[in-house]
Amino acid sequence: MKNLSLKICLAIATLLASVGSGFALPKCPSSPKFVSTYKDILNWHNCVGTVTYGSTAKYTGEFKNNMRWGAGIFSYNKKQKNSPKVQEGIFQNNQFLYAQKTPYSRKPSVLRTAFIKLSKENRRQLQTNLKDLGFYKSSIDGLYGKGTASALAKYNKQNLNGADLKKSENVEKLFNVVLELKPSPKPKPKRDLEKEFGLSLYGTFLHSEKVPNALFFFDEIEQYDSFEFRKALRSHDVDLIVLSSPGGSIFEGLNMAGIIHDKGLNTYVPNNSLEGKGDCASACSFMFFAGSTKNVEGNLGVHQFYSSDGKKKEIVEEVQENTQFTVSEIIGFLNEFETPSWVFERMFQQSEMYYFKETELVQLETEVSDELSTHYEKSEKFISDFAKAFAEVSE
């Protein structure tokens, strides 16, 4: 029966060859016992005979187009454990299109059979979970191969005490465990905001290469900020000061306001700050009023002053190093900046912080160029992006 099936295969191949070429193939020339390279195989085409490739496989039959199709017996290396020793049939591109069943066929493993029975979704999920845990290195395709088999075996050995995977109950348990896994999320790579945004810090001033012509002030005004302010101006070509500070040292605020005025810098209170709405208040307002051009999108507030007993009382904020500034001295600075006189009235009318109304801000703002408006937009975008990144890093 075996010889009969081989004869049928050879007859089919011979028929195909005769149809394709119009004549029967000659016998293959004599050859060494083994063909060791693919180059040697090229010598065995358009002929009838036997070719043994390396020490692994042997083709017996008719060969056409460099062994790309034919018919015959395909033999595996007998030393290879559990491999089929003989198959008969028609092969094309070195793969059998038809194979005669033989008693030597390998029985599929329990692991493979169980894997194939899983739904495609579960097969892919199983591979995904194993990959997240570092056991599986190949693509997520839902197909059973060496990568999947190796990953399952490794996980079984490390986590299920190497249970016998020839037993279906152990394989089922393995699959259930792996499918229920929830791999720990991979830690997010640590972000370097200083490098990402091109930041330079000068005291409480912040400079970013994202908006190279601007300096940002987001914190309380502290001692020596005027020194750091001068250093930043020497290091960068700056013409815009973006202000969102609750205030602080009156001495430092007035000192920096004088620098802004002398250098003809522009001031801007942004719509948003790192936390909430932009807010320039108290001593920060001195810096705003000193600007060559001024614009407010957020809030602008001034401390109130009043004199109930005929004596001037400063309640602006804590004064650094016991430095005392009278109301008249503060007004002197603001007059130098050509601050409207009605601003001083707001300072003395109430005891609480006074935030200017929209109609009043229009009178305080100056006309700005299209170029400067573009710088405002860039500043707002930087603040938004930086605030978002800072919040993500802080989580």
Contact assessment for residue 271 and residue 380, using Cβ atoms and an 8 Å cutoff? yes
Can you name the residues that pair with 268 across neighbouring β-strands? 242, 295
What is the predicted pLDDT for the residue at 25?
62
Q: Tell me the C-alpha distance between 218 and 247, whole Å.
A: 10
Distances (CA, A) of 343 to 16, 264, 318, 367, 384: 103, 21, 22, 19, 31
Instruction: Specify the 3-state DSSP secondary structure of 56.
Output: coil
Q: Count of residues for the chain?
A: 395
What is the predicted pLDDT for the residue at 177?
92
What is the predicted pLDDT for the residue at 24?
59
Distances (CA, A) of 27 to 22, 38, 61, 233, 302: 16, 20, 10, 92, 106
pTM as predicted: 0.53
Low-confidence ranges of the chain (pLDDT < 70): 1-107, 182-188, 304-326, 350, 395
What is the predicted pLDDT for the residue at 188?
67
Q: Tell me the C-alpha distance between 221 and 199, whole Å.
A: 20
Instruction: Name, in order, each residue with C-beta under 8 angstroms of 299's C-beta and a sequence gap of 6 or more.
Output: 269, 277, 278, 279, 280, 281, 355
Amino acid type, 115: F
Other beta carbons less than 10 A from residue 251's beta carbon: 19
